[in-house]
Amino acid sequence: MNNPLIEVNGLASGYVKGLNILQGVDLVLKENEVVSIIGPNGAGKSTLLKAIMGLIPIFGGKIYFKGNELIEIKSHELVQKGIAYVPQVSNVFQSLTIEENLEMGLWSTKNEHSNLFKEIYSMFPILKEKRKERAGNLSGGQRQLLALGRALISKPNVLLLDEPSAGLSPKAINEVFQYIKSINESGVGILLVEQNAKRALSFCNRGYVLDQGRNAYTGLGKDLLKDKKVIDLYLGKL
């Protein structure tokens, strides 16, 4: 059997030593899965993605990528290994053009550049059309597509997405989710943090509810959607 793409065991992490935001989190992302992480504001969802991406210190527990433990590996090395990350905010450079933003995604890859551009442009025709414009001129939805394109240009096996639907119109949200689905169908495992919890749970294979830096509930997305406790505690309010 193949190792999971990502496995997180008893992860303790945070921003300041002695102040654990994540207090022993477990999570598995298997090949070809979409796994969503939901939970209230401040639960530690973004912190979990940052910890996996090597952006903040680990105080305890372990993170594995395809069975190999990640120890003090820098973010750019993780990109080379096949993990890409789209942060919750500031995920594009507004003053750079679309093309320049995509180039920023290339700096850590050794692949032949022109083909990668072609692939991204054929996947996202809107980015090709606007490639000489500044990212700051794009709509919110288009900016999110640019952030996805920039992450995909490194040819990842795993994509970490932090609230890709935040602040978007319903139409743009549908488009972003369609793209995420086709990215997943092309063989990329996806860890999806979402405030749109019902949408995320109906979209994913499995889901994790985080609360106060700990696992609260875990299961198939469709089961969590029907779970009375999950509904009462997390889905009503979100």
Query: Interface residues with ligand ADP (CB under 6 A)?
Result: 15, 21, 39, 41-47
Residue 97 or residue 195: which is nearer to Mg ion going by CB?
195
Show Cβ contacts of residue 31 under 8 Å, excluding neighbours closer than 6 positions: 2, 4, 5, 189
From 43-51, 118-126, 140-148, 182-190, give the range in contact with Mg ion by CB under 5 A: 43-51
2 is in the binding site of which of ligand ADP, Mg ion, none (Cβ under 5 to 8 A by kind)?
Answer: none
Closest Cα partner for 40 from 175, 194, 181? 194
Question: Beta 6-13 vs 22-29: how paired, if at all?
Answer: antiparallel
How far apart, in whole angstroms, are the C-alpha atoms of residue 99 and residue 92?
11
Distance CA 208, CA 213 (A): 12
Residues 153-192 that bind Mg ion (CB under 5 A): none
Taking the least distance from each CB to ligand ADP, the nearer of 189 and 213 is 213
| Between 42 and 57, CB nearer to ligand ADP | 42
**Residue 120 beta carbon to Mg ion: minimum distance, rounded to whole angstroms:** 26
Identity of the residue, 46 or 218, whose beta carbon is nearer to ligand ADP in the bound complex: 46
Candidates 9, 32, 46, 205: give the one binding Mg ion (CB under 5 A). Answer: 46
Question: Shortest Cβ distance from residue 133 to ligand ADP (Å)?
Answer: 31
Sign of the alpha-carbon torsion through 42, 48, 49, 54? positive
Residue with the two structure tokens 């970490």: 160
Q: Which two tokens stand for residue 6?
A: 């990502």
Q: Which among 41-49, 77-85, 142-150, 152-160 is the span making contact with Mg ion, rule CB under 5 A?
A: 41-49
Cα separation, 79 vs 99, in Å, equals 19
When the beta carbons of 46 and 157 are compared against Mg ion, the nearer one is 46
Q: Which of 92, 88, 105 is nearest to 192 (CA)?
A: 88
Report the C-alpha gap between 149 and 202 in whole angstroms: 24
Nearer to Mg ion, 45 or 150 (CB): 45
State the nearest-atom distance from the C-beta of 21 to ligand ADP, in Å: 4
Q: How many CA atoms lie within 13 A of 50 on its CB side?
A: 17
**Cβ 16 to ligand ADP shortest distance, Å:** 7
Binding site for Mg ion (CB under 5 A): 45-46
